[in-house]
Structure 1
Amino acid sequence: MSEALAILQKYWKHDEFRSPQNEIINSVLEEKDTFGLMPTGGGKSICFQIPALMKEGICLVISPLVALMKDQVQRLQQLNIKAIALTGGIQSDEMITLLDNCEFGNYKFLYLSPERLQSDWVLERIKNLPINLIAIDEAHCVSQWGHDFRPAYLKIANLKTHFPKVPFLALTASATNRVLDDVILQLGLEKPAIFKKSFARKNIAYMVFEVEDKLYRMEQILKKNPQPSIIYVRNRKSCSETASQLQSLGFKATYYHGGLSVKEKEKNMSLWMNEEAQIMVATNAFGMGIDKSNVKTVIHIHLPESIESYYQEAGRAGRNEEKAFAVLLTSPSDKAQAQSQFINVLPDKKILTQIYIKLCTYFQIAYGEGINEQFSFNLNHFCQKYNFPTLKTFNAIQFLDRQGILSLTQEYSEKITMQFMIPSKEVIRYMSLNPNEEPVLLSILRTYPGIYESQTAINLSLVAKKSNCEEPLILSILEKLKGLAIIDYHKKNNDATIIFNEVREDERTINRVSKYLETQNNQKVAQFESVLHYINEKKVCKSKLILDYFGEKTETDCGICSYCISKKTKITDTSSISDKIIGLLKIQDLNSREIQKLSKNTEDDVIFALQNLLENNKIAVKPNNKYTLKL
């Protein structure tokens, strides 16, 4: 392993491997099919990058996550390692060039989505490449029992017939035993070496607190632990609102979600990474490729949709192996709210068909056409136009994405279109009078020759690169030209991009994938029930509950979770506190903070007494989260 360690030190500046990285690398170098189950933060990419660099040829990496592919390719290129990603939106002629580069340009890594393997000509080109390893990232996607099943992953097994001597390396951060067995079967792995890293994170204290005032409890936690923190929320609106609330309390907080522009994301990320902001409030769009070891606290203020996603997000705390906290704050209304967010918005076959057909109509795609066409997409505008419920529509489009029918890229974008309104000789005359603007105008004219005839979409970053000018300067020049009536110029903001991967066939398209819809919906209901079990089970160690979910048994309690701490804490006489609470509620309805203040007892004692009174049916919780006596 001395060569592997030397590569690790050269490129990644680490002096030793984490278990089981070295075992997986050895297995791959011995040409064995291998399965690596490594919880989030375990360094999965090292497991295929290092053996690929040690062998002649190119490593084929199959991943469903466009953002992660781009991130890894960028990182490898920064290390002067030649890597390419075939993501959505790349035209056929550009793909041919990229694949030529792979074949003749001494590239080491080719990243592509499983959907690309469904193109016969792409597969033919890959068969001619000197593949030395096939790495399947997010391998749980191959199993219908996984939390993100994608039928396109089932096609990966076909590569075995073309590369019978090339080892397969399947990697995932979260898989139950049932999923693991199914992945091995579906990928056709031959007597695979299986390496599982324990899901136990002994330094993370899993905490579940029932509270009425989540902001107040957040304030307490964040003041007690002033190190870098992440607060996960369910939607974009909550992102900015929660960040603003924390700022008003004196915290340095920023936020991150899919609706921010690339520049805003980079700016806010930089504030948090450089610790100019203590707190990052984020949706689940935040996390991939985040490598910050000293996150002390991860707080969820809304219920997660599955234990898998919760474990991954909570696992961003404490990667420096120091004690850290994963806190889940719940309130009595959370279950109903989450039910409406996760379960009631699952699409059935009927609405899935309607949404697909209306999408095609929206983009004016004729029956039998549309393959590889790309469109900017605003979800809210689409839903308003056809009177569709927003969340159910989003879930339907996401399902179509996972089935490979279309690709949904949830990136905020600014679409710019323009057309010259004056003859070319007048444009040349204008450039001679305004030499500072000439590089920008020349770049546009050379890149988009049809811009005199019609409205043309322009790529701002490409023009900036070719003209060697900053994007804000280009925008100001375009605004000026619009004011002078030299150009007709439009800017339009979009939440996403949609690429159609297949021709439009309406019911035929949906009938082919609808069998997976019911399975997925049932799976999501079961996952949500597991989350409810996690928060409602008050007599079992929280770490034990998570390990048990992933099929890992342990007899030992963690000693640091909310359950274990409650066992250690000596509760004062609950009967006297209960009597005090009943006396207060005879006067008026109160929330837990008001009860604590008036009773002068600790918060834990009050919560414990309230739970007993609720269980004994002596009090009830009103919709405004105030407690009232039962008549």
Structure 2
Amino acid sequence: MNTALEILQKYWKHDAFREPQQAIIHSVMDGNDTLALMPTGGGKSICFQVPALMQSGICLVISPLIALMKDQVKNLQNKGIKAIALTGGIHQDEIIDLLDNCQFGNYKFLYLSPERLQNDWILERIKNLPIKLIAVDEAHCVSQWGHDFRPAYLKIAQLKEYFPKVPFMALTASATPRVKEDIIAQLKLNKPQIFSKSFYRENLAYMVFETEDKLHLLQQILKKNPQPSIIYVTNRKSCLETVNQLETMGFTATYYHGGLTHKDKAAHMQLWMEEKVQVMVATNAFGMGIDKANVKTIIHLHLPQNLENYYQESGRAGRDGEKAFAVMLNNPSDVLHAEAQFLSILPDKAFLNLAFSKLCNYFQIAYGEGIDEQFGFNLNQFCIKYNLPMLKTYNALQFLDRQGIITLSQEFSEKINIQFIIPSKEVIRYMSLNPNDEEIILTILRTYPGIYDMQTAFNPQLIAKKSNSTDNAVLSLLQKLKEKNILEMIAKNNDAAITFNEVREDERTINRISKYLETQNKLKVEQLQAVLHYSKDTKTCKQKLLMAYFGESLNEDCGICSYCITKNKPTQHPETVTEKIIELLKIQDFNSRDIQKLTKFPKDDVIFALQKLLDDQIISIKPNNSYSLQ
């Protein structure tokens, strides 16, 4: 048997493990249930992949993230390691084939979503597999106090009955003390070994700046730090607007969000990875599988939804060990924005019921039917058809996704329908004259027998797989046949795909899951309050605030965050600054940037003085972000 280090060197080309990877691997190999809390970028997957390769049998990996499962399976296959994933949208016949491969094909890894465990026949097949390790990724999802709770995770504990001697490993990148205790209880971990890598990042300076002019400050930060940067925004529209503003200021930038095609995502990512552009502007869709060590600055232009996401996104800076910056830019209107973005659009039970029934009607799913059916989906078109508010509807669909009722895959796709419009004998004649196209066309005819009679939904990936071809070759042939008037093709753009995981039962379905809705809505309010506290607290080290949230305590201030720098700076006497500001405002109203220029005081001193004057109700702030005397 190869040692853990030999496997690491052979497959991952690393000379040594990071702390505490090796200790976690030893714990698993000793047969212990294990809980690993490791920040983003800490190398969690190696902790279960290496021990799986050290022994015979299969490692069962349970994860809610389809993109991450696909990414890990692809990486393992590229290393010559046999791995498969049972993601949403795979039909029963194909699942049976994949599980047969697992049972008889010497596979090492089987990835699946927790929702799959709710299918009794899949559970029966899994019980007969030679499973030697069960890894539960994103384990915070098992806790109602976790930021992405999924009831399907509660089913995982029943695997203990079928595999009493198989060690369980639970992994998460973000868990508060309450969530950590819940993970152990809900997964029924038996005297688990707990490994918790500190969330402290000594090289990462957490900065929070109050400013009315975010673009001006953004310009200063990017000029001062010309290395690779990521700017996080809350929506797709802001991605494009921010890129345009950056380019106007002379910076090179690209963008990334869930509505891009795979091709565009890869192209934009490559531009940034190869440093042909300095800045990646992105929604939280950007992050999966990023492995770029020299990111200097992460900037949040808008308040994040919770500190778990903020910590993970900020943690993509400074992985090379060099000093890096995690910057949050705030202005007075951000709190109202965040409340509108995250709280006022939370669906209640009545709205959830409405959205679900409309969704079923949209795809003409009858009561008692719909399980495993998959459809291309455009959220904007759906909301227009039923006059539904966009963001509230999106949150409702996300909740249904987390509860396992549907799978919402936020990937840009083209829904293709085709129909042959010439007689079958003419198609046969075409194949005899064009033998290179024969295999793909025959595969289409075998797969879709009614394709002469009606417009038929077409899956290019399936045809490519069955004909030992590529997606591009299939799509190119379709285009050629269309131009020759052999077939008719209609392609519609979708920004998501929806798979129904259960039969339609309307209110019965919603009644079953609504008990979780109130808890999750309450949690979202608490999480946003924690973000606001972090952003507004001017008397505590920022690193200390983050560590306290995740259950750690720092004895000393970090020395490099925005609070520590301000505290250590020699400052003007506060009375001098406030007096000068009052004198200026007697002349006319000014914004903070103009006040700083005219008074020539340090920016932090001006902001501190303005805040004190606001608190004392000596001045007020107008809608245009200028200050005036009361």
TM range (shorter): over 0.9
Partner Cα distance (2:248, 2:35) in 1: 48
* 1:64-115 CA distance string (max 9 Å, x none): 0000000000000000000000000011010000000000000000000111
* TM-score in terms of structure 1 length: 0.96
Shift of 1:421: 1.1
Partner Cα distance (1:124, 1:431) in 2: 45
Whether 2:561 is the aligned partner of 1:524: answer no
Partner Cα distance (1:510, 1:192) in 2: 35
Count of residue pairs brought into register by the alignment: 630
Partner Cα distance (2:403, 2:416) in 1: 31
* 1:217-258 CA distance string (max 9 Å, x none): 111111111111111000011111111211121111111000
Match of 2:349 in 1: 349
Shift of 1:527: 0.4
Structure 1 window deviating more from structure 2 (572-581 vs 320-329): it is 572-581
Whether 2:223 is the aligned partner of 1:223: answer yes
Structure 1 window deviating more from structure 2 (424-433 vs 588-597): it is 424-433
Q: Does the 8 Å CA contact 2:418/2:489 hold for their aligned counterparts?
A: yes
Shift of 1:510: 0.7
Report the CA distance shift for 1:482/1:2 in structure 2 as closer, same or farther (over 3 A): closer
* 1:486-521 CA distance string (max 9 Å, x none): 322111000111111111111111111111100000
Which one-letter code corresponds to 1:79 in the other structure? K
* TM-score in terms of structure 2 length: 0.96
Report the CA distance shift for 1:468/1:25 in structure 2 as closer, same or farther (over 3 A): closer
Match of 1:42 in 2: 42
Partner Cα distance (1:474, 1:154) in 2: 42
Partner Cα distance (1:477, 1:121) in 2: 39
Structure 2 residue matching 1:452: 3-state secondary structure:
coil
Match of 2:290 in 1: 290
Shift of 1:154: 0.6
Match of 1:110 in 2: 110
Structure 1 window deviating more from structure 2 (531-540 vs 462-471): it is 462-471
Report the CA distance shift for 1:87/1:465 in structure 2 as closer, same or farther (over 3 A): closer
Which one-letter code corresponds to 1:602 in the other structure? P
Structure 1 window deviating more from structure 2 (354-363 vs 436-445): it is 436-445
Match of 1:621 in 2: 621
Structure 2 residue matching 1:517: 3-state secondary structure:
helix
Report the CA distance shift for 1:43/1:376 in structure 2 as closer, same or farther (over 3 A): same
Shift of 1:597: 2.7
Report the CA distance shift for 1:2/1:560 in structure 2 as closer, same or farther (over 3 A): farther
Structure 2: state its 5+ residue gaps: none
Match of 2:487 in 1: 487
Match of 2:507 in 1: 507
Report the CA distance shift for 1:102/1:467 in structure 2 as closer, same or farther (over 3 A): closer
Match of 2:155 in 1: 155
Structure 1 window deviating more from structure 2 (107-116 vs 240-249): it is 240-249
Match of 1:496 in 2: 496
Match of 1:255 in 2: 255
Shift of 1:476: 6.2
Shift of 1:484: 5.1
Report the CA distance shift for 1:570/1:270 in structure 2 as closer, same or farther (over 3 A): same
Which one-letter code corresponds to 1:61 in the other structure? V
Report the CA distance shift for 1:84/1:434 in structure 2 as closer, same or farther (over 3 A): closer
Shift of 1:428: 4.0
Partner Cα distance (2:302, 2:493) in 1: 28
Match of 1:318 in 2: 318
Match of 1:606 in 2: 606
Match of 2:426 in 1: 426
Report the CA distance shift for 1:466/1:271 in structure 2 as closer, same or farther (over 3 A): farther
Match of 1:272 in 2: 272
* 1:584-628 CA distance string (max 9 Å, x none): 323332222222233333333322322222222222221222222
Match of 1:565 in 2: 565
Q: Percent identity?
A: 69
Q: Does the 8 Å CA contact 2:230/2:280 hold for their aligned counterparts?
A: yes
Which one-letter code corresponds to 1:135 in the other structure? A
Shift of 1:468: 8.2
Which one-letter code corresponds to 1:307 in the other structure? L
Match of 1:121 in 2: 121
* 1:354-407 CA distance string (max 9 Å, x none): 111111111111111111111111111111111111111111111111111111
Partner Cα distance (1:467, 1:215) in 2: 52
* 1:281-305 CA distance string (max 9 Å, x none): 1111111211111111100000011
Match of 2:71 in 1: 71
Match of 1:210 in 2: 210
Q: Does the 8 Å CA contact 2:2/2:54 hold for their aligned counterparts?
A: no
**1:367-406 matches, cutoff 5 A:** 367-406=367-406
Match of 2:242 in 1: 242
Partner Cα distance (1:134, 1:477) in 2: 43
Which one-letter code corresponds to 1:234 in the other structure? T
Structure 1 residue matching 2:96: 3-state secondary structure:
helix
Alpha-carbon RMSD: 1.9
Match of 1:595 in 2: 595
Which one-letter code corresponds to 2:132 in the other structure? N
* 1:396-425 CA distance string (max 9 Å, x none): 111111111111111110111111111123
Report the CA distance shift for 1:438/1:142 in structure 2 as closer, same or farther (over 3 A): same
Structure 1 residue matching 2:340: 3-state secondary structure:
helix
Structure 2 residue matching 1:451: 3-state secondary structure:
coil
Shift of 1:213: 1.1
Partner Cα distance (1:127, 1:105) in 2: 16
Match of 1:135 in 2: 135
Shift of 1:41: 1.0
Which one-letter code corresponds to 1:185 in the other structure? A
Partner Cα distance (2:439, 2:30) in 1: 55
Match of 2:407 in 1: 407
Structure 1 residue matching 2:84: 3-state secondary structure:
strand
Which one-letter code corresponds to 1:317 in the other structure? A
Partner Cα distance (2:516, 2:473) in 1: 49
